[in-house]
Structure 1
Amino acid sequence: MNEKITPYNSETVTKKEQVATMFNNISGTYDFLNHFMSLGIDILWRKKAIRQLKAQQPKSILDVATGTGDFAFEAIKILKPTQVTGVDISAGMLEVAKRKIKERKLDHVFSVRLGDSEMLPFEDNQFDAITVAYGVRNYENLEKGLADMRRVLKPGGKIVILEFSKPQGFPVKQLYNFYFKHITPFFGKVFSKDARAYQYLPESVAAFPDGAAFTQLMERVGFSQTKQITLTFGISSIYTGIK
């Protein structure tokens, strides 16, 4: 699912390799562009998503596709876990995350490692909770990735996924489509080393099976009590499920 949409439309390089290259290319401007192009709303979305775990109070959290670490930092601030582990396919993004961890003196609670989100380098039933922000639509095999996250989650553990979705109502749908297809690539080209990355963004969102299609996929791999919470007219969604 979603294998056909790739960052560089290469038939000789896997989607996974293209995604790693793309994030290596944009790692230096990723945080700035995220906050700039969302007008800072992405920060509020992350906070709301992490609050879905307040009742569980997880001590060990795995942040998949951790990138530069922003979702994990919110988890640390709000939930006060004992240990957060971040995994990402991009060495460039992890270098930024490591700098931020050091600056914030969080080495004792937050560690990151290079790894494949669809073949996680962890034992079964290892983590109390799993978080993913804006990562699952980049999976080469979405069902495989969801199943592997469930594998490393403890029984009764909760997963929280934050991802772009597609607004349906007029005029938000039309404004959103215009912004994503024209404004986002423009600013991506101006500020980023990789203009194609910000053309891929709307393409990957359009191809992603959001809403009920995604919660059904979560259920297919074994998650229960799945739920979707829409944010800001449906621009993003929070998905939760229990192992």
Structure 2
Amino acid sequence: MTPPAIRFDAAADTYDDDPHHLGIARELVDGLRTAARPRLVVDVATGTGFAAFAALEALDPQHVVAVDVSARMLERAAAKAPAGDPDGRIEWREAPAVPLELPDGAADVVLCASALHLIGATAPPEWRRVLRPGGRAAFSIPVAADFQPSPEFREALPSDLAVPADEAGAEHIARAAGLVPVAVRRTAPVSAERPRRSFLVWAQVPR
């Protein structure tokens, strides 16, 4: 088991207690409602499945592949599936975020809610690879001013991707992977006691 998997296995039982995760996932997916019905949605670093379930409700895809390195997170997600996915359209995969075990151009939508800063800069180019021309990527990432990890947690973060300070920095992440055009929105904090804003980013593979 990899160190990230151990860390997120340990967090799985209380992950759903934090309303921030659900709110970000829903806002991120809601930004894709104007797109045509997708055949395949890929939810990268799905955790307990917030974005995958939100995609079923908002986008009505034919199939969702939800990937995470944490077996315990996936167990928690699968336990919610009878209510959130009664017809079994979500496929839960214990696998790394990079590389994705999907062929080139297979996906219509790639989601990554609240996890890109944990994966690193290799992820957006991988999303571009698995997306078809015209396919859409949607991700969230913390606002640097609100991101205050412990020293131990900071040591575990990838060194190739900086948490952005402003909308231009968030947009650059998508553009650097060849995903254009790009739209960015900053969220409002869920709790005044623990303000945690994020950038929501929607981008596209050129046709």
* TM-score of the alignment, normalized to the shorter chain, above 0.5: yes
CA distance in 1, matches of 2:80, 2:169: 35
Please list the CA deviations of residues 93-145 of structure 1 after superposition, one character each: whole Å capped at 9, or x if unmatched. Answer: 11111111134453521111011111101111001111111111111xx2221
Distance 1:77 1:135, change over 3 A: same
Please list the CA deviations of residues 170-206 of structure 1 after superposition, one character each: whole Å capped at 9, or x if unmatched. Answer: xxxxxx57xx56xxx8xxxxxxxxxx9xx737x96x9
1:21 alignment partner in structure 2: 6
CA distance in 2, matches of 1:24, 1:101: 19
1:200 alignment partner in structure 2: 153
The structure whose residues are more often helix, as a share, is: 1
Contact 1:101 1:107 in 2 (8 A): no
Which structure ranks higher in relative contact order (CA pairs < 8 Å, sequence separation ≥ 6)?
1
1:235 alignment partner in structure 2: 197
Say whether residues 1:216 and 2:169 are aligned partners: no
1:190 alignment partner in structure 2: none
In structure 2, give the amino acid aligned to 1:208: V
Say whether residues 1:73 and 2:87 are aligned partners: no
Return the offset for 1:67: 0.8
CA distance in 2, matches of 1:111, 1:44: 22
1:189 alignment partner in structure 2: none
Return the offset for 1:215: 2.0
Q: Which aligned pairs between 1:1-150 and structure 2 lie closer than 5 A? A: 17-32=2-17, 34-35=18-19, 38=20, 42-57=21-36, 58-139=38-119, 142-150=120-128
Which of 63-72 and 97-106 deviates more? 97-106
In structure 2, give the amino acid aligned to 1:31: D
Question: Unmatched 5+ residue regions in structure 1?
Answer: 1-15, 168-175, 186-195
Question: Unmatched 5+ residue regions in structure 2?
Answer: 190-195
CA distance in 1, matches of 2:95, 2:128: 16
Query: Aligned Cα RMSD in Å?
Result: 2.8
| TM-score, normalised relative to structure 2 | 0.82
**Structure having the higher Rg:** 1
| TM-score, normalised relative to structure 1 | 0.71
Q: Percent identity?
A: 24
1:13 alignment partner in structure 2: none
Please list the CA deviations of residues 70-113 of structure 1 after superposition, one character each: whole Å capped at 9, or x if unmatched. Answer: 11111111111111110111111111111111344535211110
CA distance in 1, matches of 2:173, 2:141: 14
CA distance in 2, matches of 1:53, 1:220: 21
